[in-house]
Structure 1
Amino acid sequence: MNDVTAAAAAAPPAYRPKLSFAWVGVVPFVAFAFLFLILPTLQIVTGAFRNPAGEFTLANVANLFQPSILSAYWISIRISVASAFLGCVVGFLLAWAIVLGGLPSWVRSPLLTFSGVASNFAGVPLAFAFLSTFGRLGLVTLILRDWFGINIYAYGFNILSFGGLTLTYLFFQIPLMVLIVTPALDGMRREWREAASILGATGFQYWRMVALPILWPTLLGTFALLFANAFGAVATAYALTGSSLSIVPILLFAQIRGDVLQDPHLGYALAFGMIVVTGIANFVYIWLRTRSERWIK
């Protein structure tokens, strides 16, 4: 009995996990995400597969294939692709200029600060800004007309159209691209460029065979993120074009406000389709971003 008691006394104490109060700081985030992200998403998904009587049905999803709704999705996809592509191109050139292009160092900080602000500038203020700038009586429109004799509306431009909405989206798409791709360009090692030069590669060959293959996952992932960012934008589009341009967010917004479609569950199905599209785009972004970080590390 004494041997057993001695062995028990010599044994190391059992591990008892300590409760860390650091988790308390995460509680507001978890509560916010649960109340304003998870619960509304679950309500949308379940509502898309229920009829007014609360029974399970696939009719709501099947109704998404109506010509008018398919046309709205197609216009939304086109605007999202156009703004994402142009945002990637212009944003990449800006990021390259401040990181590798030899611009003065004092340019970088103001540009990144402006990008951080502009990437979150949307909604009614952004729509008003572009109407005041490129509307029929906008500042730029009048300057081009009165000073240079160029009437952009006579050439077919319209701020309340596909091109106008795409141009407006670029205001927050380009800065978002700058913020995302700048760290990737910062992670490009100087040794890679030096090794390519020693082996006789030109600057074009270095970018084509070394830099772009490494940055390609980041660029494609950012394109997917910008696509999702534009596809889900509703406040800017509605404030700028109203109901003159039938895109999915405006169609959904009209359903929520006035029940124009006379079928609330079809509105759930519209939102469910948007969740699927943006979810796929965000999954592609996360997957490609993870692959690119392996190279940069």
Structure 2
Amino acid sequence: MTAVLTETDTAPAAAGKQQRRRRASGRLAVVPLLVFVAIAFGIPALAMLNGAFTVEDQATGATSYTAANLTASLQGAYLTALVGSVKLSAVSAALATVLGLPLAQAVVTSRSRALREAVLTASGVLANFGGVPLAFAFVATLGNSGVLTRHLGLTGKGWNLYSFWGLVVVYLYFLVPLMVLTITPALDGLRSQWREAAQNNGATAFQYWRHVALPVLAPSLLGGLVLLFGSAFAAYATAAAMVGSAVPLVTLQIADAISGNVLVGQENVALALSLDMVLVAGLVMVVYLPLQRRSARWLA
């Protein structure tokens, strides 16, 4: 009897030790990831932060810490470029959200499994297709001497690919597929019982979407909008290859400042502009993560 009681009493202690060992092994498994993040992201971030607040005297070579670079990054042409990037990203993300939602809904409600897989696979490819190849494709198609531009006479109708709205059209090429990939899981989470209950109570399709589907999808839609904004805000190669300095963007200003195309010795101003971008991206993540958690709770 005593032995039985002893085994019973020691069982919780043994289970507790085993659980603590599992937790310790789990923490150790994360160490390589933390080391990689510290090396790949932490060191560059600290170097950028240090350079953004450092000014070098051209005469003596002495360095000092000041907020002059950050102040300069929020004035004049730099501020115009930052505002231009925010405006371009916001407009592109909003249009991609509006266009991507019905396309994703058509894919989700389609009875053809092959069509669904084909659209999602194509969206995965197109969402990552950018840079110089994308710029060249649009220049050859919709540029001043592009095939469609000459065939449809778009130049006489006021079309200009190398402008703000031309860049918006190019950005939609990879933002709409990204929206399809982002919102499709949320659309899959809409239960058919909700639609049936709405129809049984006399609701039309418009009323169902207005009062049931869209309120449930709102966190996912806003999260997708924020994600698209961040993707467009960080894009560089496509705009650099297509419009150059015709459209003021903060990524292009950073490249010009680093290469000395504007003024010599503006490298630290470029780091300050990069810090501005990091702050905007951080704000995007602060908004995106709570929306993602809320949408996951609704659609679980």
Q: Kindly state the Cα deviation for residue 104 of structure 1 after the two structures are TM-superposed.
A: 3.0
Correspondence for 2:39 among 25, 35, 39: 35
Aligned counterparts, 1:70-219, within 5 A: 70-100=79-109, 102=110, 104-144=112-152, 151-219=153-221
Letter paired with 1:105: R
Deviation per CA, 1:275-295: give whole Å up to 9, x if none. Answer: 111221122111111111111
Deviates more, 1:210-219 or 1:261-270: 261-270
User: Taking structure 1 as reference, are residues 20 and 292 closer, same or farther at Cα in structure 2, changes over 3 Å only?
Assistant: same
- Residues 99 and 185, structure 1, Cα contact 8 Å, conserved in 2: yes
- Residues 157 and 163, structure 1, Cα contact 8 Å, conserved in 2: no
Aligned to 2:59: none
- Residues 49 and 60, structure 1, Cα contact 8 Å, conserved in 2: yes
- Residues 61 and 266, structure 1, Cα contact 8 Å, conserved in 2: yes
User: Taking structure 1 as reference, are residues 25 and 48 closer, same or farther at Cα in structure 2, changes over 3 Å only?
Assistant: closer
Matched, 1:269 2:272: yes
Aligned equivalents of 2:36 and 2:259: distance in 1?
24
Percent identity reads 42
Letter paired with 2:282: G
Letter paired with 2:108: V
- Residues 88 and 164, structure 2, Cα contact 8 Å, conserved in 1: yes
Q: Kindly state the Cα deviation for residue 24 of structure 1 after the two structures are TM-superposed.
A: 6.1
- Residues 160 and 244, structure 1, Cα contact 8 Å, conserved in 2: yes
Aligned to 2:246: 244
SS in 2 for 1:55: strand
User: Taking structure 1 as reference, are residues 166 and 284 closer, same or farther at Cα in structure 2, changes over 3 Å only?
Assistant: same
Aligned to 1:56: 65
Q: Kindly state the Cα deviation for residue 108 of structure 1 after the two structures are TM-superposed.
A: 0.7
Aligned to 1:147: none
User: Taking structure 1 as reference, are residues 225 and 21 closer, same or farther at Cα in structure 2, changes over 3 Å only?
Assistant: closer
Q: Kindly state the Cα deviation for residue 274 of structure 1 after the two structures are TM-superposed.
A: 0.8
Letter paired with 1:50: T
- Residues 82 and 166, structure 1, Cα contact 8 Å, conserved in 2: yes
Q: Kindly state the Cα deviation for residue 159 of structure 1 after the two structures are TM-superposed.
A: 1.3
RMSD: 2.3
- Residues 97 and 103, structure 1, Cα contact 8 Å, conserved in 2: no
User: Taking structure 1 as reference, are residues 44 and 203 closer, same or farther at Cα in structure 2, changes over 3 Å only?
Assistant: same
Aligned counterparts, 1:12-31, within 5 A: 15=17, 17=21, 20=25, 27=32, 29-31=33-35
Q: Kindly state the Cα deviation for residue 254 of structure 1 after the two structures are TM-superposed.
A: 1.2
Letter paired with 2:89: S
In the alignment of these two chains, the number of paired residues is: 281
Aligned equivalents of 2:95 and 2:244: distance in 1?
24
Deviation per CA, 1:192-229: give whole Å up to 9, x if none. Answer: 11111222211111110111001011111111111111
Matched, 1:288 2:291: yes
Aligned equivalents of 2:26 and 2:204: distance in 1?
56
Aligned equivalents of 1:26 and 1:235: distance in 2?
34
Aligned equivalents of 2:77 and 2:249: distance in 1?
10
User: Taking structure 1 as reference, are residues 181 and 30 closer, same or farther at Cα in structure 2, changes over 3 Å only?
Assistant: same
Aligned to 2:3: none
Correspondence for 1:258 among 241, 260, 282: 260
How high is the TM-score relative to the length of structure 1?
0.87
- Residues 54 and 268, structure 2, Cα contact 8 Å, conserved in 1: yes
User: Taking structure 1 as reference, are residues 290 and 34 closer, same or farther at Cα in structure 2, changes over 3 Å only?
Assistant: same
How high is the TM-score relative to the length of structure 2?
0.86
SS in 1 for 2:157: coil
User: Taking structure 1 as reference, are residues 131 and 25 closer, same or farther at Cα in structure 2, changes over 3 Å only?
Assistant: farther
Structure 2 residues without counterparts, runs of 5 or longer: 1-5, 57-61
- Residues 180 and 222, structure 1, Cα contact 8 Å, conserved in 2: yes
Q: Kindly state the Cα deviation for residue 103 of structure 1 after the two structures are TM-superposed.
A: 5.5
